[in-house]
Structure 1
Amino acid sequence: MPMRQRGIWKAMGFTAFFLLLVALAIGSINPLHLTVFLSLVLCSIAFLLSVFPGSRFFTIAMANFIALYACIFNFLVTSNFSTIEPVFSSIGFILPMIGFFGGTWLHRKNIKSIVLAHQLPAARGFRASIGWLFPITGIGLVSFFFPRNLFPLIWEEVIFFVAMGGIALVVLFVSKQIATFLLDCGLLFEAFFLRIEPLIVPAFAFLTFYSMNVMVFGFIYRILDHYSSEIHFTISGEARAISFMESLYFSIITLSTVGYGDIVPRSDVARSIVSLQIVVSVMLLLFGFSEIMSYSRSRNHQK
């Protein structure tokens, strides 16, 4: 299989996986939304790769766009239209996507030429890049000002469809600008991964030392609590022996200096070991990032 084709299949897999996470999250609220979203995932990937062949990073940018839209839509429905039927909500969710795909189909030749050029276009102004966001955002904001108690349920559904239909029309007319914006994002995304590709080996080496730190201190916490008559940790307000998984979890949050407070060292010995891990972890981060940057600079000099 050619390298480019393999890249497209990888992009498809990542796109499907990413959108599947969003679909499952939305589906946990309503199964109908899950079905609609999964169908939209399949249709969007098939549409993009059939109309714009070779647009692997375009599909990834599109995945992020759909996921972001799904989050905003869910917030809009929950805040303003929580009483409408799920089937109406699902139809309203699809309308702007139909507008986008319809618009990109109408401008497919122009967009396809940009995709196949595979290079960033000349810099555009702010208005040309994301000016299309303002009318769409405006329609969504207007829906917050309608008094809910003054309208019967049927009028709430009418207002919802008017809002989503208006957004769909705006998206239809500015689909070319949206698609171009997504192409820019996709190309920048690709350029970013090309730049960090040489850092995979040192980053993996750093991750190895990082995981070793987590495991060594996690084992020490477990051994300390398991083979000692004294209770060294308070876990969720209860003084008891720490389990194996809890010791690894505590080691990770100690290394990252997050400190959720659900597991707290209560003995002087445990506090001393935790302090030592924090010092070692800070030194590991400093030297790790320093080595990664040094490796990157040496690779750039060799080119």
Structure 2
Amino acid sequence: MQRRLTFFGGKKDVQIPEKDQGREIKNLEMASANIGLLAPALVGAGAFFLLNQLFQVKGESDKEGGSVTGNLGSIIYTGIATTGLSYYIYNVLIAAGSRPLYAFMPFSWALGVMILYYAAVYNWIYRISPGSFEGDFGETPLEQLVSFIYFSIATFSTGGWGNFVPKSNTAKMLISMQLLFFVFIFTMGLVFFINP
């Protein structure tokens, strides 16, 4: 007999046949190994970091508009990357079944990828359109990178922005996507990790 949580948080004793006892772990391993869902975020973070750091992309003006193509492409690609991350986390938590703590490491890796991805895209938007954000991000690329990692963590963890303020619609849309991702993660946490 194994005690499992029900959908509404109750507990129920379930007899699991011997042949199915290892299946939950196998399903979790398969869901965790499906890093193809993380690929858009990983590739995007790498591409944004490379464009920012190696080629020193810098927008010409301090206007809020900036490059329409760069801004629109960033929003669309961020939507794809966020959807992949969300689906990966959902699959991992579903596969974990009655053992949600087994999903902790894949879940943590996905959150780390998300934080780095959003830091990279915020840095990219700031580079192509310096008027997108208001605040002191530093002068060197490393200082800016650290500032945007901080900004990404602050946005994800508290919904606040710290001492940086988004000014452009592109920055606001990207922050909205990250906050919606936070709401999704919070909801998944309520469903899968609460043990009354």
**TM-score grouping bracket, smaller chain normalisation:** 0.3 to 0.5
> Higher helix share goes to which structure?
1
Q: TM-score, normalised by structure 1?
A: 0.28
- Find the structure with the greater CA-based Rg: 1
Q: TM-score, normalised by structure 2?
A: 0.41
